């Protein structure tokens, strides 16, 4: 067969009615009747039904072809409301490119098995839609940041120490005598860069050696982190809500069909417009009847979000719960100038951000109070020693954003090859 294959979505959009079309892809479904074989073919863009009738040139190959075989085919297109995407190709010619062995997923679809054969499970229509959206979200984040004067800067993956606490780091032997840890967050490096390029961001992996077996924790995730000189807490919150609104709006514009496949109502995402509601930790704790000073977990965040249709900012957490780098509120040092953004419907913390403490003496005081040796973060403190400026930043867990946008109830479905406590393969 000569070239000039059309992508399936192009065939569907152009509605080349009664015209000859050529496509190539993989067999997603097969149903054999006495004198008809129905195939559903998938490519990267969509699926389409194909009919091979007894007596046609395509019949023999249609009989032979198996689920997940690859093929090229030619046929006539016609509208058919009963077909899964509204059209059917009446095949005149089929060329089997790779005849597939018996595809294992047809027999066993338990969640554990699907993770064992993740490299095959990613072929599903649902996951294809998720990954098209995932790809678009990465692109939209880059596009937004470049259009708003941010520089992309990359963090190192190997360091001698992490920024988010000792227990959650993956350690590895670094040559003969040293130990290295895998990047937990780009933040310390970003803060150094805020004094150089002023507005910076990265999209990079973060690693967390967390044993949490929840629907929202993985040990490796892609982290979108932003840091900017001169910006105060409120500026950073406005930026965060603007980015999230931008992503939601453009996913509806550009990936409507994928949302349909996932059964996600686009109206829900079109409603995501700034400003987002804001409450303080104190108000949230009161609503949830939680003792002031206790941290929120999944249960609390999910319960809280029942009342909201937009992402919610929770601000001003007790300083006792917060890392030393978060700025204490000058009006009330018992709370921080920090914010978490919680996703609606799902109810997960998707963003964690704050204004940073830029005063060297205050940071050292906090570190000492916590019994930490300031020498351990000495290089980091140089950003305060040499030309400190007010600055703020945040980190967004991209997988959790995808979970909400796609309406999924487990983080593993948002990640091509998820890494969890129990799984590092395939």
Q: Does 394 bind ligand 4AD (CB under 6 A)?
A: yes
CB 197 within 8 A of CB 153: yes
- Work out which of 352, 355, 357, 413 binds Mg ion, going by CB under 5 A: 352
CB 310 within 8 A of CB 345: no
Query: Which sign, positive or negative, has the C-alpha torsion 144, 146, 150, 154?
Result: positive
Task: List the structure tokens of 132.
Answer: 């098209």
**Which of the ranges 220-228, 262-270, 350-358, 364-372 carries the binding residues for Mg ion, by CB under 5 A?**
350-358
Q: Does 52 bind ligand 4AD (CB under 6 A)?
A: no
User: Of 94 and 363, which has the nearer Cβ to ligand 4AD?
Assistant: 363
SS3 assignment, position 186: coil
Phi then psi for residue 54, to 5 deg, are -60, 135
Q: What whole-number distance in Å separates Cα of residue 222 and Cα of residue 214?
A: 17
**Hey, which residues between 293 and 352 contact ligand 4AD (CB under 6 A)?**
349-352
**Which of the ranges 216-224, 253-261, 296-304, 418-426 carries the binding residues for ligand 4AD, by CB under 6 A?**
216-224
Q: Does 413 bind Mg ion (CB under 5 A)?
A: no
Q: Does 152 bind ligand 4AD (CB under 6 A)?
A: no
User: Of 86 and 156, which has the nearer Cβ to ligand 4AD?
Assistant: 156
Binding pattern for the stretch 186-205 against ligand 4AD, x by CB under 6 A and - elsewhere: -x------------------
Instruction: List CB contacts of 96: < 8 A, sequence separation 6 or more.
Output: 61, 64, 65, 69, 70, 71
- Work out which of 30, 42, 136, 217 binds ligand 4AD, going by CB under 6 A: 217
- Work out which of 75, 344, 393, 418 binds ligand 4AD, going by CB under 6 A: 393
169 binds, among Mg ion, ligand 4AD, none (CB under 5 to 8 A by kind): none
Q: Does 402 bind ligand 4AD (CB under 6 A)?
A: no
Residue 164: CB minimum distance to ligand 4AD, A: 5
Q: Does 221 bind ligand 4AD (CB under 6 A)?
A: yes
Q: Which residue has the tokens 């965060």?
A: 240
Cα–Cα distances in angstroms (integers) from residue 385 to residues 70, 129, 196, 360, 382, in the given order:
62, 49, 14, 7, 5
CA proximity to 132, closest of 203, 43, 71: 43
CA proximity to 47, closest of 30, 62, 25, 69: 25
* Residues of this chain that bind ligand 4AD (CB under 6 A): 163-164, 185, 187, 208, 210, 217-218, 221, 223, 225, 349-353, 393-397, 399-400
Binding site for Mg ion (CB under 5 A): 352
């Amino acid at each position: 067969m000569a070239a000039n294959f059309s992508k399936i979505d192009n065939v569907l959009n152009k509605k080349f009615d009664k015209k000859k079309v050529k496509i190539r892809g993989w067999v997603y479904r097969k149903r054999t009747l006495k004198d008809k074989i129905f195939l559903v073919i998938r490519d990267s863009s969509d699926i389409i039904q194909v009919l091979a009738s007894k007596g046609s040139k395509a019949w023999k190959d249609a009989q032979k072809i198996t689920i997940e075989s690859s093929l090229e085919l030619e046929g006539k297109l016609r509208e058919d409301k009963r077909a899964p995407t509204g059209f059917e190709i009446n095949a005149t010619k089929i060329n089997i490119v790779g005849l597939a062995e018996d595809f294992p997923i047809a027999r066993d679809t338990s969640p554990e098995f699907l993770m064992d054969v993740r490299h095959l499970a990613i072929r599903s229509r649902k996951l294809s839609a998720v990954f098209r959206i995932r790809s678009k979200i990465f692109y939209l984040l880059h596009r937004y940041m470049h259009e708003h004067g941010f520089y992309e800067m990359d963090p190192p993956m190997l360091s001698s120490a992490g920024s988010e606490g000792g227990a959650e780091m993956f350690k590895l032997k670094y040559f003969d005598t040293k130990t290295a840890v895998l990047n937990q967050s780009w933040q310390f490096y970003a803060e150094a860069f805020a004094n150089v390029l002023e507005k910076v961001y990265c999209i990079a992996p973060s690693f967390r050696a967390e044993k949490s077996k929840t629907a929202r924790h993985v040990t490796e995730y892609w982290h979108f982190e932003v840091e900017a000189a001169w910006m105060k807490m409120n500026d950073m919150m406005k930026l965060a809500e603007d980015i999230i609104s931008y992503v939601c709006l453009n996913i509806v514009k550009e990936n409507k069909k994928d949302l349909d496949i996932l059964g996600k109502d686009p109206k829900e995402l079109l409603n995501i417009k700034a400003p987002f509601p804001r409450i303080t930790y104190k108000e949230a704790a009161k609503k949830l009847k939680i003792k002031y000073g206790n941290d929120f977990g999944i249960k609390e965040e999910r319960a809280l979000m029942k009342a909201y249709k937009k992402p919610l900012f929770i601000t001003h957490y007790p300083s006792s719960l917060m890392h030393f780098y978060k700025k204490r509120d000058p009006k009330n040092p018992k709370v921080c100038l920090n914010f978490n953004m919680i996703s609606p419907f799902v109810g997960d913390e998707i963003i964690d951000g704050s204004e940073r403490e830029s005063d060297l003496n205050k940071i050292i005081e906090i570190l000492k109070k916590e019994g930490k040796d300031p020498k351990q973060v000495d290089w980091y403190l140089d950003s305060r020693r040499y030309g400190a400026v007010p600055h703020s930043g945040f980190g967004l867990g991209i997988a959790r954003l995808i979970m909400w946008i796609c309406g999924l109830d487990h983080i593993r479905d948002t990640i091509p090859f998820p890494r969890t406590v129990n799984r590092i393969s395939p």
